[in-house]
Amino acid sequence: MTIALNRIDAPRPKVGLVAGGLGAYWPQFPDLLPQLQRSSERVSERMRELGCDVIDVGFISDAQEGAVAAEKLRAAGCDIIVGFLTTYMTATMLLPVAQRSGAPVLLINLQPSESMDHETFDTGQWLAYCGACPLPEMANTFIRAGIPFRSVSGYLEDERAWAKIGRWVKAAGVRAALQRGRHGLMGHLYPGMLDVATDLTLIPVNLGGHVEVLEFDDLRVRVEKVTDAEVKERTDLAREVFELADTVNDDDFSWAARVSVGLDRLVDDFALDSLAYYHRGLDGEIHERLGAGMILGASLLTARGIPAAGEYELRTSLAMLVMDRLGAGGSFTEFQALDFLRGHVEMGHDGPAHLAISSQRPLLRGLGVYHGKRGWGVSVEFDVTHGPVTALGLLQKRDGKFAFVVSEGTTVDGPLLRIGNTTSRVDFGCDPGEWTDAWSATGISHHWALGTGHRAAELRAVADLLGIEMVVVNP
């Protein structure tokens, strides 16, 4: 469904583009360079259609021009470097580009059309189709230099190839969001949840970015400054976005709206790209009330592109960020039950949900008690849009390395609990018990992100650019 909320303007991926060929050919075959330059211009045009900012340093013909291009791309601070192999070129032309930029490298070999006209082509025309020739040379050199790379081969208007290129560009944007992100962690660990605990140093080590450690008092002082007029404005917005159940108490609704406005200020003041939080509190004191009043504001933030996860789930808030930047939504999720009668895994969570992936207008339900948590108030309830979905968890392994844990399934129709949770039935194409055992065997924590679409290919590209393992669960 469409939500009437203003999403944040996420930075566009910055793509450095350099095309090249062997300069020795130009005097020998006068028509070759103009043809390759036209192909280069077309690649630059199509690259811009992928929703990225392109830093095109033009066409290089020798190692000296390659060094100049390398310096320009280094200074530009690109998220990914694309080297277009238009014909044969030497590794000395591209190695400096890869070495100096510090960005992931994608080599593309896109010949002019699907096949040559063998009856009429001369040597010059053949050379325009020879972009595959230097690819092994580049690969060998990059491997020996310790530089990871990936490649896409096809032809200029090959939609299959451009889908792969687009996947790498999108993955570079997700990598940049993690590397430049500021991730809030507010409150304290839910007592006893050992799987949720994250070594904060491992976030910048594995993914980049900064973890901003916050206290609930940082939220309290901002909530105290929220005016009644701002509360009314926020409740009006909530009435527009949500259907309100008759269990919603006016006082609880107003409090959730007040906390929501304070949350927005907290996010703005600390320039946060994501947030994970939890506070237990006691006997109705202010911190308990703040913790219980988070769900409305956290769900609105998540829908705007600033994922917020409860229970101090830092790694899951980052998984939600990855899914959001892929356009998949990404809701805070855990197991609820297994339906062996229908072959479904029932999953969801009370707390923050990504409203953009709701199957219908989300419901705001009043709860007298949050199961396992202190306080009471309003919670969000919906079913994820039926169709292809992907579960993504961020695993912290024993050696301190992170990994993606991924599984594709389908959300389907069926009976759902009406308890103020996001709840979905997911068919993974196998016995739900077998899937549950396989998913749990990876060592994933008991929370993850659930997003729309089958995203394993995109997530594999993200994991590749991050240099982390990806485990696919498909029993």
Q: Could you tell me the CATH number of the domain that includes residue 77?
A: 3.40.50.10940
Of 150, 178, 206, the one marking the end of a domain is 178
DSSP letters for 93-116 = HHHHHHHHH-S-EEEEEEESSSS-
Q: What is the pLDDT along the chain (475 residues), one digit of tens a residue?
A: 445 578 888 889 999 999 999 999 999 999 999 999 999 999 999 999 999 999 999 999 999 999 999 999 999 999 999 999 999 999 999 999 999 998 999 999 999 999 999 999 999 999 999 999 999 999 999 999 999 999 999 999 999 999 999 999 999 999 999 999 999 999 999 999 999 999 999 999 999 999 999 999 999 999 999 999 999 999 999 999 999 999 999 999 999 999 999 999 999 999 999 999 999 888 889 999 999 899 999 999 999 999 999 999 999 999 999 999 999 999 999 999 999 999 999 998 876 789 988 888 898 988 766 666 666 678 888 889 999 999 999 999 999 999 999 999 999 999 988 777 788 999 999 999 999 999 999 999 999 999 999 999 999 999 999 999 999 999 8
- Of 147, 178, 209, the last residue of a domain is 178
DSSP assigned state of 159: H
In terms of domains, do 134 and 198 share one?
no
Is 316 part of any domain?
Answer: yes
Residues in the chain: 475
Q: CATH number of the domain that 385 lies in?
A: 3.20.14
Residue 9, domain member (yes or no): no
In a domain, residue 183? The reply is no
- Structure token pair of residue 1: 């469904």
Residue 115 shares a structural domain with residue 248: no
Whether residues 174 and 201 fall in one domain: no
203 and 83 housed in the same domain: no
Question: How many beta carbons lie within 10 A of that of residue 437, not counting itself?
Answer: 12
3 within a domain of the structure (yes/no):
no
In a domain, 2, yes or no: no
129 with 267, same domain: the answer is: no
Indicate whether 166 and 206 sit together in one domain.
Answer: no
Burial class for 17, CB neighbours closer than 10 Å (0-12, 13-18, 19+): buried
In a domain, 6, yes or no: no
Look at the chain and report how many structural domains it folds into: 2
Q: Which two tokens stand for residue 396?
A: 């912290």
Do residue 283 and residue 172 come from a single domain? no
Full residue range of the structural domain in which residue 46 is found? 14-178
Same domain, 138 and 169: yes
Residue 70 and residue 24 share a domain: yes
Say if residue 71 is in the same domain as residue 216: no
Phi, psi at residue 338, to the nearest 5°? -115, 130
| Among the listed residues 353, 357, 343, the one whose alpha carbon sits nearest the alpha carbon of residue 409 | 343
Rounded Cα distance between 131 and 385, Å, is 43
| 168 and 198 co-located in one domain | no
The answer on 410 and 270 residing in a single domain is yes
Q: What is the DSSP letter of 293?
A: T
Task: Confirm if 290 and 221 have CB atoms less than 8 A apart.
Answer: no
- Asked if residue 206 belongs to a domain, the reply is yes
